Structure 1
Amino acid sequence: MELKSNIKLLLLVISISFVALACPVNSSAETLTAQQEALNTNSDLDKSKTSLVQEASSIPQKEIDTTLAQVKIDGKWGFIDNTGKFIIPATFDEVRYFQDGLIAVKSQGKWGYYDKFGQVIVPVQFKEVTDYKEGFVAVKNDNNKWGFYDKKGAIIVPIQFEEVAGFKDGVALVKDNKKWGFYDNKGNLSIPVQFTEASFFSEGLAPVKSDNKWGFIDRSGKTVIPCQYQEVMTFSEGLAPVKVNDKWGYIDKSGRLVIAAQFKSIAHGFSEGLSAVNLEGKWKYIDKNGTALFAAPFDSLFPFKDGLAEVRVIKKSVGFFDVVAFAVGASANFYDIDTSVIKSNEKRGYIDRTGKLIVPTKYDLVNTYDEDLAIVKVDDKWGCVDKKGTFVIPAQYEEMSQFQDGIAKVKIDGKWGFINKTGKLLSIYQFDEVSPFSNGLAAVNREGKWGFLSKEGKITISPQFDEVHSFNNDLAVVKKDDLWCVINMDGKVVIRSWRGVSKISDFSTSLAAVKVDGKWGYMDTNGKLVIQPTFSDAGLFFVR
């Protein structure tokens, strides 16, 4: 999707789902009230960081409601339950989002972790903490040493290493005195620190480097393939690329060279029986016998997935307004190949297992396949192709969204409508703005007023509101004539705002944040204030 479209769609979602929480003339950090569960944070929070806090709650875990909301008071963040009681005290400068019942918090420049019961899991004393992976979190102390905690608060890997990585497949890499070793998830140094470089296991073997040469070890640390190669990649489908005398070939798990070292470079290991190699300056795909099956005259080649491989070409010139598209990554070699962003000077296409170009690289833009369809842009118009490259939805739209639950938003002649995956028009092009469907209804704007549309294309609630939220738990927050209220799926007003109410959030677990006279509290589905307005900012309740 082109950048302009992405920005418009993003702004639309924000305006419908988030900004409706804020006064039209007073946008502020208080938009936390419209946070999504996936983010569970607000504009004041740094999503890339974690934080820690004080003492653990002394209340037994079984007596604590783990439905929590993030609130801010006196400039500090904490978490309350649905009675308004603080489970995690409001003493933190920053917090991240909950992850498997754990939250990273920051106080006075130090990070740590709490659990959803208010217990300290990782003391708030570290310069850095990562996200939890496979039940473990890496921490860095004031001496710039790294180690790992588990989810119960036990140190599983001593905090004494220069660098760490993982956990992945039950293993963490640790570096001490410029040498790498392996810890298992029981806290054992399973493979002593001895390698100048190392990578994670793949198909039971891990690449390691010693005396400036690469080889492979098994999980016991036994050298299975001696360190004798200039470079290696991880095993995939039983074979690993290795470099010998400046040429690449492939070995099996016994170390036997099964495809002679003859290639200038290799794009990736085998996937679906094929690998992309550079032979005499030209890219080709080979099979596991080393036979070249077809030429691949592209600048970038990616692994096959479901019978198709993504390919890219570099454009000769780049315009200032070249777009950025988002995609789904593919995994190979030591790392995950990140295809989430296509560069502005690249064009994407797809080939099949015979090398036939299914989706040409000549199109203005090609998104990755999602549910067997790829959205493409041709001559500034958007449409969809299937995995045979056939246009199942003609390129005729000025703008087009990704499909969500089988429905996409499309724009023609400046007006929005909705189509399904066959291209069938579900509603005529009549709306100035639209939102995605939620609870079976989509917010639509016509002539400056918002209403709601069903998936059958019927306007169920006539456009009459100045601002709306999407439906959530069968309720939607709407604004009309400068007054906020809550309606049900039939459009009936079930909660009317009262004097002093300037904002209302979506309902979550039967409670909604409401701003009264500049402070946030919470009301129930009857409109009754159950937590008095005392907070400078407040988020939605979620079961952590």
Structure 2
Amino acid sequence: MTEGQKAGLLDEAGRLLGGRLFDDARLPDYSGEVAKILVNGQWIGLNRAGDLVPDPEDGMALVACPSGIKFMHSGNRIQVVGADEKPTVSYLFDDTHMTCEFSVSVRYNGRWGFLKQDGKLLVDPPSFQSQFGFSGGYAGVKIDGKWGILDSSGVLALAPQFDEMQPDSGAYAVSKDARKFWIDASGREVSEPRRLEDRQSTGTSGNARTSRASRTGLTVMSPTRELRQCLTIPMKAVFSGCGPSLNTGWTLGKNRLASSRNSKDRLFPVS
């Protein structure tokens, strides 16, 4: 593959589909005939003949919740609709990880917010520079470069004042005026929380760190001791050597790592 952060799709014969590389690419699922490619900031489709086609996910429900809330794919954005199929908010959110575990973190125009179970925003419009998920009814939020704590009603329980913050086991590790210490949600200083012995192993599998599963069921694997990066596919892992994908006839080549041992290695995309 060529240099840089470009990706290309190869068919079973090793031909580069579309005759070019793209900004990014995503393999279709097992039955899918259309892959997704990123061109000038827009996701579109690429079929097995190498033709550019509409994004196969456009208009699809990416996540459907028992409450009736759905996260719909709309262009490069996410639209939230209710049980009546009408939008619950006017915003089209960035395509971040959506889940039915409310409150859900959403991003709009570079700002973060929380979506409630009814599909409405906890704080409207999204206004946080960064944020952590809710735990015990509280969430750390960053406003104007400082961290504070928001409660589940959308009110600041603790005004933004900390340079750094990291929630852990019901407490918060913070720094302020070059001093590092632990607090609870009320701002009272506490001792460092005790942790479960297996906390360090959470989310770890063998030599690789695993990220969340994608909407197609693929799991991203990041090897800790190898330069190569691959995807595991349900029922069969494609890890060592990074070969063709399972039973799809697709292979995604990617030269993410210029220092790879073999520049001709075919690398699956890592999101």
With normalisation by structure 2, the TM-score equals 0.50
Higher strand content, 1 or 2: 1
Radius of gyration: which is bigger?
1
With normalisation by structure 1, the TM-score equals 0.27
